[in-house]
Amino acid sequence: MLAVLSPGQGSQKPGFLTPWLDLPGAEARLRWWSALAGVDLVHLGTQADADEIKDTARTQPLLVAAALLAAEHLPMYDVALVAGHSVGELSAAALAGVLPAEAAVTLAGVRGREMAAACALEPTGMAAVLGGDPDEVLAAIEAHGLHPANRNGTGQVVAAGAVAGLEKLAAEPPAKARVIRLQVAGAFHTPYMAPAEAALATVAGGIVPGDPARILLSNRDGAAVNHGREMVQRLVRQVTAPVRWDLCMRTLADLGVTGVIELPPAGTLAGLVKRELKGEGAPEIVTLNTPADLPAARDLIARHSGLSGHEPAIQFRVVVSPAAGTFEPLTGLAEGTDLRAGQVIGHVATRQGPVEVTAHHSGLLTEWLAHHNDPVAPGQPLARIGGQA
């Protein structure tokens, strides 16, 4: 299985889009998206210095545009799974078919401006806590009135909140842990961003989303999201909610992902995946930073997509598990049955009770991928629905 990942804020580098503007139509595309985002993406991606592209209002639409621009040159119809870190979730949602590219870039512009404005309301910040016992690290963050804004993997938690609390955490770090202040404008993914969440919600409410055409993981809990409206709600809520990238990587492992491509500016997420999913069965990784990396990315997709060609006549859509538990398909629902969008095809028995599984597209129930009482993980494929592409 092949996964394409979209990076978040902090991964940007001066001039990283320069080589992409040599591709036909790339500059025109960025000019159009600049009008939607309210920033000059061409300038930011080619000539702006590190300080200029560190500005949240500029960084967020720049990152979303960069990921989408590069993905246009990949055979995305052969990609099974997409995920993004923080603002990268907007790129992933667009690549999954939930949002048009224009809507993703527009929302990134709003999100960046409003989060920058929220940062200016009071002095807040973020700090990476590296190492230490996980429970002790979380307890120390809470003890200083801070929030675990990002949980990026084993031994990597980002604390966020008031500057005074961050200073106390740095002065009294948890045992065997280091605290490193991050050069960011404020406490992202915490309640301090509530004004930004409210502002983003008013704009996002006007979007008519599609349902994901491929597996789309959420930062909230690492689960796959089946319905477009739910994903838009999660994108808005994520402004104040912690980023659980650790759970996204756990889902990658649970699903047996064998290949990973990180979109530009690539490197950060690839590094996290490499550290977390190591040993036998570790995925092959390509970091896509310039057009020169496109052949390697396309080759990885060809070898890990599981498809024999690049122009399939039939488009298969996968229904995935919304939660962890045991799967129970609907009695009497056989392969070859015509399904309608929204039809219940089974449920997942969880500790909290049964969770319905629905077909989010009409089509033929081509194949059951899980069966009666099979244990399933969030995002695990349960059934394949076929229809004309």
Active site residues: 86, 189
SS (H, E, C) the chain: CEEEEECCCCCCCCCCCHHHHHCCCHHHHHHHHHHHHCCCHHHHHHCCCHHHHHCHHHHHHHHHHHHHHHHCCCCHHHCCEEEECCCHHHHHHHHCCCCCHHHHHHHHHHHHHHHHHHHCCCCEEEEEEEECCHHHHHHHHHHCCCEEEEEEECCEEEEEEEHHHHHHHHHCCCCCEEEEEECCCCCCCCHHHHHHHHHHHHHHCCCCCCCCCCEEECCCCCCECCCHHHHHHHHHHCCCCCECHHHHHHHHHHCCCCEEEECCCCCHHHHHHHHHCCCCCCCEEEECCCHHHHHHHHHHHHHHCCCCCCCCCEEEEEEECCCCEEEEECCCCCCCCEECCCCEEEEEEECCEEEEEECCCCEEEEEECCCCCEEECCCCEEEEEEEEC
